[in-house]
């Protein structure tokens, strides 16, 4: 038997509004389209440093996203539980993170929500990038601009380096 993690996401109604005390306010849940995009991107990826997505199912207004189970939790949880990491652990996790990012970027995918809570650990201590809810797939791979505009305040910032990319 394979262990799986399940991420549950509530789908907003068609109007995207909930009634609260007689007034309508925007709901912060995700749309079906954004959930399906996360699953589509996740299922297209296979790398030792990227969480594996298995699929999804809808149960009413709840979507269950099935993915690889990583029993050691996140880097965020590790830091909360044990405090600062020693330099060798930081170096090892940074190397693994960069391997995962190189893979994602080679596939034209920008994660757009990297944080310690989205960096999970397998039972062997392998770091894996998780949560592709904010990810964006480029229609064409990002190519750095070699001629930034003269009037840009920060010519080497990421948006200007990749100004022709559909990531931004």
Q: Show which residues are catalytic.
A: 113
User: In 3D, which of 1, 66, 4, 69 has the Cα closest to residue 35?
Assistant: 66
User: In 3D, which of 151, 152, 155, 148 has the Cα closest to residue 164?
Assistant: 148
Looking at the DSSP bridge assignments, the partners of residue 129 are 50, 119
Can you tell me the distance from the alpha carbon of 159 to that of 168, in angstroms, rounded to the nearest whole number?
7
Look at phi and psi of residue 125 and say left if phi exceeds 0, alpha if psi is from -120 to 50, else beta: left
Structure tokens at 126: 């392998």
Q: How many helices (H) and strands (E) does the chain have?
A: 4, 9
């Amino acid at each position: 038997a394979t262990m799986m993690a399940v991420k549950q996401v509530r789908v907003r109604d068609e109007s995207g509004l909930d009634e609260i005390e007689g007034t309508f306010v925007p709901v912060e849940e995700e749309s079906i389209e954004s959930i399906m995009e996360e699953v589509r991107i996740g299922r297209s990826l296979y790398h030792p440093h990227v969480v594996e997505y298995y699929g999804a199912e809808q149960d009413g207004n709840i979507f269950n996203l099935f993915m690889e189970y990583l029993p050691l939790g996140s880097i965020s949880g590790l830091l909360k539980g044990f405090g600062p990491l020693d330099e060798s652990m930081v170096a090892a996790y940074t190397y693994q993170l960069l391997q995962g990012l190189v893979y994602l970027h080679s596939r034209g995918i920008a994660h757009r929500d990297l944080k310690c809570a989205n960096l999970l650990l397998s039972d062997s201590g392998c770091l894996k990038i998780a949560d592709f809810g904010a990810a964006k797939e480029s229609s064409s791979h990002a190519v750095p601009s070699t001629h930034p505009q003269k009037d840009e305040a920060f010519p080497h910032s990421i948006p200007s380096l990749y100004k022709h990319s559909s990531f931004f």
